[in-house]
Chains A and B, each alone.
Chain A
Amino acid sequence: MFRIVAEPIVPADLERVVRAGDGGVVTFLGIVRGRAHDGAAVRSLWYEAYEAMALAEFERIEAEARERFGDVRLAIVHRVGEVAVGEISVAVLAAAAHRAEAFLACRYAIDELKLRAAIWKQERYAAGGAAWSETHG
């Protein structure tokens, strides 16, 4: 289940990828922080995506997670548009027979998504102004 959505993310929706036999399910939620790395007060984040490429990247990340960690299932939902402080910008769920593989796959998916998916983020500051940010390592 891979989606780019303009509406608030409902984490429970990702659980539909869980199958009988999955004994470990790990969910990561990315939440918009009220402070930028330099301490500036953030009002909201603006996200935009090249949806076709972003979804194709999510699929590649899942295929790679299966090569690395075995029989795992991923669900990834990323929000676009304006996302207020405290709201979920991204949700990643990994399901596997055992917790170890589920933790590894979830960590792998969020790290790779931030580096590779065609998604962009702009910090909008409480004091006015905005800046595009990019992932560093």
Chain B
Amino acid sequence: MKIRVLAFARLRELLDGPDRILELAEGERVRDAWEALVRTQPALEEERASTRVARNGALVAFDVSLADGDELALLPPVGGG
């Protein structure tokens, strides 16, 4: 299955681009997507404690299953205004 990964602010810079498509096996979870991204960018692992993840616009835990076509967003600590 394919999911689209969005990253913002310093995570976008770290992943070197606004979005990317990840190829995952059926039944894989948010955690698996994260680990696949860490394999391409090891420095991402240091950001895990401060990163929240949204699946299709709703915050989810790392053990949530993904489905084909999902949009996974990596959100560093916010600070608008």
Contacts and interface: CB of A to CB of B under 8 A. Distances in A.
Contact of B8 (A30, A50, A116): A50
A118 B6 CA distance: 12
Contacts of B75: 50, 53, 118
A114 to B, nearest CB: 4
Contacts of B76: 120, 132, 134
A116 B52 CA distance: 12
Nearest to B50: A134
Interface residues of A, number: 27
Contacts of A134: 76-79
Contacts of A78: 80-81
A118 B80 CA distance: 8
Contacts of B6: 50
A50 B73 contact: yes
17 contacts: A49-B80, A53-B75, A78-B80, A78-B81, A89-B80, A113-B80, A114-B78, A114-B81, A115-B78, A118-B75, A121-B80, A122-B9, A132-B10, A134-B77, A134-B79, A135-B78, A135-B81
Q: Most chain-A CB neighbours within 10 Å: which of B12, B76, B80, B81?
A: B80
A114 B79 contact: yes
B interface residue count range (under 10 / 10 to 19 / 20 to 34 / 35 or more): 10 to 19
Interface of A: 30, 47-50, 52-54, 56, 78, 89-90, 110, 113-122, 132-135
A134 B76 CA distance: 9
Given A113-B81, A120-B8, 7 more contacts: A50-B8, A53-B54, A90-B80, A90-B81, A119-B78, A121-B81, A133-B79
Contacts of A120: 8-9, 76, 78-80
A119 B73 contact: no
A81 to B, nearest CB: 13
